[in-house]
Amino acid sequence: MRAIMGRSVRAGAGPLPGFGPALGLTLTWLSLIVLIPLAAVFVRASGLGADEILAKTFSDRALAAYRLSFGGALIAAAVSSLAGLLIAWVLVRYDFPGRRLADAVVDLPFALPTAVAGIALTALTAPNGLIGAPLAAVGIRIAFTPVGVIVAMVFIGLPFVVRTVQPVLEDLDREVEEAAASLGAGRRQILWRVILPALAPGLSAGFALAFARAVGEYGSVIFIAGNMPGVSEIAPLLIVISLEQYDYAGASAIAAVMLIASFILLLIVNGLDARRRRAMEG
Amino acid sequence: MTRNHDIRPARHLRYIASAALIAATILASSVIAPAKAADVELLNVSYDPTRELYKDVNRAFAAKWQAETGDTLTIRQSHGGSGKQARSVIDGLEADVVTLALAYDIDAIADNGGALRQDWQTALPDNSAPYTSTIVLLVRKGNPKGIKDWDDLLKPGVQVITPNPKTSGGARWNYLAAWGYALDQGRDAAGARDFVKALFANVPVLDSGARGSTTTFVQRGIGDVLLAWENEALLAVNELGPDAFDIVVPSLSILAEPPVAVVDRFVDAHGTRKVAEAYLNFLYTVEGQELAAKHFYRPRNAEVAARHAATFPEVKLFTIDAVFGGWRKVQAEHFNDGGIFDQIVAKK
């Protein structure tokens, strides 16, 4: 690091001083709060031999559970993103009686114990439930199927999207849209060329959060899933099952697989966003 | 964006800060406020359905203990799934006594870290199980599907609700009861396996715990028959009114023995061995047995059992030790990963 007139000229470092201490502090906290606990998972998993880990974590049943957990979480995050964007749009752009109330309601899934959410959703979507009964009459089942799993994941993921998109929307100047309109852009063009690009970072962050939360969700899903092996078992349930057998190493092995897979997927989501941003700037 | 807008967050923060300060003050004062000095404290780590039972037992025993010794006794209770509770003790929850759903969970405490001795089950009479239960069939009022015994559960069109034996200690008894019935019918091991496999083919939902299954059956209206512990079934019938469900007692069932034990390491650390042992022995007294019966557990004491004969019909029972050779063996053969249960429910 060469300093000229007290200011760093290293590429990437901003005009602010104190990069070194700040980075040190960041890494220390990140390690204490996030990385060390997660490292313990890998240490515990190492109690098994490599063969055992492979056999346990890549059995047909485990693979089906990963498919449901990660596939369901991706679908749920996509649904949450779409619905969350609409909700945020309405909350920011329109003034209507009860808007503040609606705004507060968005946060409820954060506060609700997940088991309560699971029981409530199951009661609604069960074949004798308010929503489930008419659907059951036409042969659609939600509770105790993989669809129910996705419903629960959407419920807990939605607030993340609303809360990450909302501030961006609030900062979005109306003038920009008006300028685009005065230059002859149609409504659809304004949406695609002006609004969505500005919202994209918030939306992708919300998507990543909703996805991560849905992958790890246990409490609400367990009531609505039905937990049939190979059909509607989620990966966190396999961890609980291993723990019931006092198989700590096996539980940690499945957790390690989930961690690695989540990390790779989150890296991809963030990487796509970074690429998009570079493309916009470049 | 007016300038007003920029001030608002600051005001918000002030409100939040003052609210936090008030909350912190309340918290701090509650911590500092002197707690009532208790002479002795016991922690009983138990499983889910015993909450009300031990509330009564604790009240009765604390009064008795105070009369005998003059000490004020406070008994704290902790409840949850039996396996989860055992893991808490293994991980260091300082239980003076454990009162769990099955011996395997207490075995696990002995095996993982040795907080109690290997032969803990010989410490108290009757396999250290002061009260027992069995597995019964809960059906909808009037028994529309005409279910009388275990083999009726295999019929096409009968939906059976049971929790998942992989996650629920209680559900393991259900599975073993069906297996034992098949053996009693003269089937060999392979025949018993087919019997249980056919039974589980009729299970549409595997909840992770007993209360979840009861909810599925009772509230969601799913299934024709719920496999349940007798105490849970009696509770369900009493809570929800006898006009909704009937209890069918099968011709043969399993003797469920929820065991109790003093946790050696922690009573020695706390100096509570004497009171912990007296507490567990109290469960075997007539008074303790009456409380067990009141909460729908079958009493061991013959005289108390005779008084409650109306509640607990005669049923032929077999034990896990006699038919299966004990919990450790059962767990390894049937319920561990890759065991018989996994093979049975693997995708057909």
Question: What is the per-residue DSSP string for A246-266?
Answer: T-HHHHHHHHHHHHHHHHHHH
CA–CA gap between residue B193 and residue B208 (Å, rounded):
22
pLDDT at B2: 43
| Class of residue B33 by CB neighbours under 10 A (exposed 0-12, middle 13-18, buried 19+) | exposed
Residue B227 CB contacts under 8 Å (≥ 6 apart), including other chains: B135, B137, B138, B160, B161, B162, B171, B174, B177, B213
Global pTM reads 0.79
Q: Do A122 and B220 touch (CB under 8 A)?
A: yes
Distance (Å) from the C-alpha of residue A272 to the closest C-alpha of chain B? 32
* Among candidate residues B343, B50, B323, the one with its CA nearest the CA of residue B173: B323
Distance (Å) from the C-alpha of residue A144 to the closest C-alpha of chain B? 7
Distance (Å) from the C-alpha of residue A247 to the closest C-alpha of chain B? 9
Terminal-residue alpha carbon distance, chain B: 63
pLDDT category, B33, cuts 50, 70, 90?
Answer: very low
Select the residue from B206, B213, B218, B222 to test the A interface by mutation, using most A Cβ atoms within 10 A: B206
Q: Do A230 and B221 touch (CB under 8 A)?
A: no
Lowest mean pLDDT segment, chosen from B11-25, B176-190, B295-309: B11-25
Distance (Å) from the C-alpha of residue B338 to the closest C-alpha of chain A? 9
Contacts of B202 in chain A (CB under 8 A): none
For residue B83, what is the nearest residue in chain A, using CA coordinates? A244
Residue B9 has pLDDT above 80, yes or no: no
Residue B21 has pLDDT above 70, yes or no: no
CB-closest option in B111, B222, B346 to A127 = B222
Contacts of B169 in chain A (CB under 8 A): 244
Residue B35 has pLDDT above 80, yes or no: no
Residue B245 CB contacts under 8 Å (≥ 6 apart), including other chains: B138, B139, B140, B141, B218, B233, B236, B237
Average pLDDT, chain B: 89
Q: Do A226 and B166 touch (CB under 8 A)?
A: no
pLDDT at B12: 62
Q: Do B220 and A127 touch (CB under 8 A)?
A: yes
Q: Do A230 and B346 touch (CB under 8 A)?
A: yes
pLDDT at A55: 83
| Class of residue B2 by CB neighbours under 10 A (exposed 0-12, middle 13-18, buried 19+) | exposed
**Would you call B66 helix, strand, or coil by DSSP?**
helix
Lowest mean pLDDT segment, chosen from A8-12, A216-220, B262-266, B306-310: A8-12
Lowest mean pLDDT segment, chosen from B3-12, B112-121, B141-150, B230-239: B3-12
Both tokens of residue A203? 């939306």
pLDDT at A15: 73
pLDDT at A1: 45
| DSSP element (H, E) containing B245 | strand B245-248
Residue spans of chain A under pLDDT 70: 1-14, 282
CA–CA gap between residue B114 and residue B120 (Å, rounded):
11
pLDDT at B238: 87
Contacts of A231 in chain B (CB under 8 A): 347
Contacts of B111 in chain A (CB under 8 A): 246
Counting residues of chain B whose pLDDT is more than 70, the rounded percentage is: 88
pLDDT at A3: 44
Phi, psi of A8 (to 5 degrees): -75, 145
CB-closest option in B108, B221, B345 to A246 = B108
pLDDT at A14: 65
pLDDT at B28: 58
Contacts of B80 in chain A (CB under 8 A): none
For residue B162, what is the nearest residue in chain A, using CA coordinates? A226
Identify the top-confidence range among A150-164, A225-239, B12-26, B202-216: A150-164
* Among candidate residues B75, B44, B50, B53, the one with its CA nearest the CA of residue B62: B75
